[in-house]
Structure 1
Amino acid sequence: MAIEEPGVLWRDGVYFYAASNFAKQHLFYPMWGATYELDSPYRIRRDYMDAYMIQYVARGALHFKLRGHHFVAKEGELVLLACREKNDYWSEGTARVKWFHFNGREVGPLLERIYETNGSGHMSTFFGARVEPLIDDILQGLKSGNCSEFQFSRDLYSILCQLAEQSLEKEAPAEESVRRAVAYIRRHYAEPLSVQDIAESVSLSPYYFTRLFKRIMMTSPHLYLLNHRLAEAKKMLVYTRDKIDTIAEATGFQSSSYFVRAFHREMNMTPKAFRQYFSAAGTHNRYKFEQEGGSDRQVSDKSGLHESKK
């Protein structure tokens, strides 16, 4: 006889997946999942499970108590749960919820990043609309049994990375200040910048600005500036014949010796060796660079965060 779950009116599932040892060691993988039609008195209280969980509210609403917060996830929203912690969720009316448990050795750091960026794991419709197709793919893969472990891992990783991004639906003052600071760094990286200079450009104290920048960008303003300078220097090494001294000065380094040391720390090779590595394509690349207006040396790059000079 089937076991009845109080408050579950209808369900598609539960469908289970047995991950390989390789997936458990190196990938993200689903464990089981289903779609539920719910009503009161459905309620789950959990103290510990070695897994994580995503719940997408397709219709109605679901109540949650997570990490000391009580909130209601409404239609189009989703919730990311760490089941290793205490959590409590329930329905007070009819709702349809798509859910699955999943795991992976590197899920924890990503989940903490999501919680740090977007609160208690309660994600708005902005995120729900982006990841619902991936949630459907995972549930369909569980149901059919025809999905490879690499496809499961790819979909899960894509979901988590999208949830870790800042929401663009409303830019808070903190994010706006950091965005302006990043733009300032990219405009003035060739100049002798300090963290105080950057903080003053957005009217914040150096101490508060540094903490804010680290929280949002996951690196310090100093390292962001350094990495941006190195990225611009790499372009000049590949696309120009400029001397090392000229490149160091043009990208804001205090001296060519400091530039060489910083470059070697990041790339484990000298700027000269890096240039030689690209020399086979050098003539074509230089021509393309010059034709695209590369002489101003202000090519946009999104590869990193850098450090200021004092």
Structure 2
Amino acid sequence: METAFFKTYFFNNQTDLKILFAGKAVCESLHSFGPAVRPNYIIHIVTKGKGRYQLDNDSYEVTVGQGFIIPPDTRTFYQADKEDPWSYYWIGFEGDLAGFYLDALGCSGHHPVFQTENMERIIEIIEESFLWDQESLFAELMLSARLYEFLALCKQTSENPVAKDQPRNPHIREAIAYIRSYYATPMTIQNLAEALCLNRSYLSSIFKQEMGVTLQQYLTDHRLTRAAELLGLNNFSIDEIAEYSGYRDTLVFSKAFKRKYAITPTAYRKTEYARQEQLKENAAHRI
């Protein structure tokens, strides 16, 4: 369990970067959230104790003085430590430029955990956000200013992030960011190359050389990974999940999914639901 305070906002004027909610919580031993897929960005700042954060297949121990980023449309799980459970603040946001800002600041899926050296001001920003109402344009602008400052402080404290290495070539990083943003659209490799103002053959060559897979393989794998997450976390139909994952033909999607996971989407959903129930049961026994 957790003792939490939570406040949501319903402003509609900001499109580049918009605060959605903020909160704080004191967690009990082994309190967990997920596995879940969120539709927006959330950044947690740990103010006491420690816990474990899992992003896709990567797991991190996060302690007091660190923060962790939850990207949208990505399966995550986090749990308080048994002996020293954490307390944290969080802020949720979205916007046309949210992903761009986080990538540019070095705070992304490549660097989901970071050190915080400006803890006092970060806490002040979130505490101040609790005080504003949800109706006036003045409040909306003040909250937007605090959100921008919050992200700037995350950049200042992320010089030594705790994360796996990211690609060295900036064109490859841009290609990966583009795929993660637009994988659900009818994207082709030619579309991607044109969006990055690069020659398709050149981009394909450097991507394969550094990443070890072709661009098409990476795009397909990303789409199917997102599909697997959706299958395990909601009741969308197979047709809907295929479309949300970038496939306009459900049969093509099902065949591709089975090639990757050696199981049909329907069977995968049943297996994943059973696995999640087992996780919950195991966690309950540990408390």
Question: TM-score normalised to the size of structure 2?
Answer: 0.48
Structure whose CA Rg is larger: 1
